[in-house]
Amino acid sequence: MSGRWSNYSMKTVSYVLVGPFPVDATRIHGGVQASVAGLASGLSDVGLSGVSIDVLVVATPTNDTRSAASGWEDSYSAARVYRIAPLWQSSLQSAVLRFGRAWKVITGEKSPIIHVHGSGLLESVLLVCSRMRGYQPIWTLHGLTVKEERARLRRHRSVRAWLRILLALVVERVAFAAAKVVIVDTEYVAAEMGRRGRAAKTHIVPQGIFPEDFASGEDCAQEHASRTFLSVGVFDRRKGHHRTIAAFSRAYRNNPSMRLVIAGAVSDASYLNELQSQVLSLDLCDVVLFHVNCSRGQLLELFRMSRFFVLLSEEESQGIALVEAMAAGLTIIASSVGGIPFVIKSGVSGVLVDPHIDSAVDSAFLRVLEDEAYADMLRTNARSAASAFSWADVSKQVLKLSRYRMERI
């Protein structure tokens, strides 16, 4: 980078990331954790002329078994990490009662750039306080929480579901008003913000990956010519794993060498039980395997040992797992919903289908299984496209949006 930033005489800039963060660096659960962890590492490594980036992560509460009176400190990559200790199983209660300590940690930094991730109550309060303090914070909106909560309400109507929607509406409005800059991951979410009259300060910056983690993906995919399909996503109905299993069962009748592996963290234990019952009823226990809360190393091994990737989500803003599948050189079948068409180009870097139309999904499975040249073309194009999602490049895009703070420090 050049211009005004080159005028600095090696200043140290404190960049504070606030949001969900993995307790164990080897086990990252969910896209928001992956995004905060990736950005923490990317910002620590990025080089700016005359500027040193000191990254502090304020990790919001998780239902972890570790306990402390007011929190604990550790590190991740080159970043410092302060963890807000959970008090009970409710992260909301922990957030409210731990706010004061989190705010003290943040304001203890000299002229920090504050970047908040997530749509929780604690995150919105921190955004408001940051703006009132004159910090002009950045907010990354991960997906359309209100839309997801409405879909959950349609499936299970309850007072709690209504309250979750109300909270999501309030939090989103407050967070957007307080943020100086709002980051979304795809044009899909940006368009939704535009329809809500919130386009002025919305910027598109994708969630990233570490391409080097998948450097050997192409060779492995060529070596393992088995017909293994991989699906990665939290065990929540929104990810459509039940549709994936149903589609696999239909394709399996004529392709008995197929295997399906589903990996993810448990968001909804009852849904996981439902999936296991579905596999049992279809007599697929020997060929459909579940990997629950697996480590990062285990997940990378699953990518290396697979040939195809399938994700039939009902809603998705971007999907980090899809980008990882691209980098791993897998042939992808995915839903044509949400922000996925802005990540996967149908017929170019993957096959996009309407997940609610069985015949369309079945045709996609059949095409990639029977037309090897077509499948290889999709894999090659996907690997090339994945290079645009490197955390090194994403971190630089984020820092460009922080320039208004950089120039005042």
Residue 266 half-sphere exposure toward CB, CA atoms < 13 A? 14
Q: Which domains does the chain have, with CATH numbers?
A: 3-208+390-406 (3.40.50.2000), 211-388 (3.40.50.2000)
Question: Distance between CA 81 and CA 201 in Å, rounded?
Answer: 29
What would the mean pLDDT of 272-288 be, rounded to a whole number?
Answer: 97
**Residue 227 structure tokens:** 């017909």
Q: What percent of the chain has pLDDT over 70?
A: 83
What would the mean pLDDT of 18-46 be, rounded to a whole number?
Answer: 83
pLDDT in tens, 49-58: 667 889 999 9
- 219 and 379 in contact (C-beta within 8 Å)? no
* DSSP letter for each residue of 74-134: EEETTEEEEEPPP-SS-HHHHHHHHHHHHHHHHHTSSS-EEEEES-SHHHHHHHHHHHHTT
All residues at 6 or more sequence positions from 157 whose CB lies less than 8 Å from its CB, including other chains:
none
CB atoms within 10 A of CB 398: 24
Q: Convert 360-370 to b/e letters by CB count within 10 Å (16 or more is b).
A: ebeebbeebbe
CB atoms within 10 A of CB 224: 13
What's the Rg (C-alpha) of the chain?
Answer: 22
Find the length of the chain. Answer: 409
- For the cut 80, the answer to whether the pLDDT of residue 388 exceeds it is yes
Place of tokens 């069985």: 358
Sign of CA dihedral 213, 214, 215, 220: positive
∠ Cα 221 395 351 (to 5°):
35
- Report pLDDT for 407: 58
* Closest C-alpha to 394, from 208, 204, 128: 208
Mean pLDDT score across all residues of the chain: 84
- Report pLDDT for 259: 95
Taking the model in full, what pTM does it have?
0.85
Question: Distance between CA 142 and CA 71 in Å, rounded?
Answer: 25
- 138 and 19 in contact (C-beta within 8 Å)? no
What would the mean pLDDT of 34-44 be, rounded to a whole number?
Answer: 89
346: which strand partners? Answer: 350
- 182 and 198 in contact (C-beta within 8 Å)? yes
∠ Cα 14 80 84 (to 5°):
105
pLDDT in tens, 308-330: 999 999 989 898 999 999 999 99
* pLDDT band for position 221 (cuts 50, 70, 90): very low
- 360 and 353 in contact (C-beta within 8 Å)? yes
- 232 and 30 in contact (C-beta within 8 Å)? no
